Amino acid sequence: MPVTDPIADMLTCIRNAAMARHRRVDVPMSKVSLAIAALLAQEKYISDYKAMPDSNQGKIRMYLRYNDEKEPLIRTLKRVSTPGRRVYVKTAEVPRVLGGLGTAIISTSQGILTGKEAKKRGLGGELVATVC
């Protein structure tokens, strides 16, 4: 069955796996999903990810991180811009998630970036999701 919002599906899979304390999660692969996985690994929300191509779409295997008390490092993972309601922000309007402790994921003309990186480069774009 086709998914109407693959990014929201990916974020939901990650959120559910973290709540169930799974060590890893597989999500369908796309260029945007791969870029978001790379950004989550760069920001240390996940420990690693692997692209696993197959004859169909392929999968991304992400290894989740937990703290010493076995609590997931990803506490909140929220889709902001949806297919029915796109949310665009200018450089000055890029949100600080949880006072700078979280991360905003923004789709810019130079690719998927964190909010901090987009501000540093002077870019705005579509506010895809927030993580903290």
In the structure encoding, which two tokens stand for residue 89, read together? 């922000």
Q: Give residue 99's pLDDT.
A: 93
Pick the CATH number of 77-131 from 3.40.50.970, 3.50.50.60, 3.30.1490.10, 3.40.50.720: 3.30.1490.10
In this prediction, residue 55 has a pLDDT band, given cuts at 50, 70 and 90, of confident
pLDDT tens-digit series, residues 2-13: 788 999 999 999
Q: How does strand 111-114 pair with strand 77-79?
A: unpaired
pLDDT tens-digit series, residues 15-47: 999 999 999 999 999 999 999 999 999 999 999
Which helix (H) or strand (E) is 20 found in, with range? Answer: none
Domain chopping of the chain, boundaries: 6-64, 77-131
Residue 113 has pLDDT above 80, yes or no: yes
- How is domain 6-64 classified at the CATH fold level? Ribosomal Protein S8; Chain: A, domain 1 (3.30.1370)
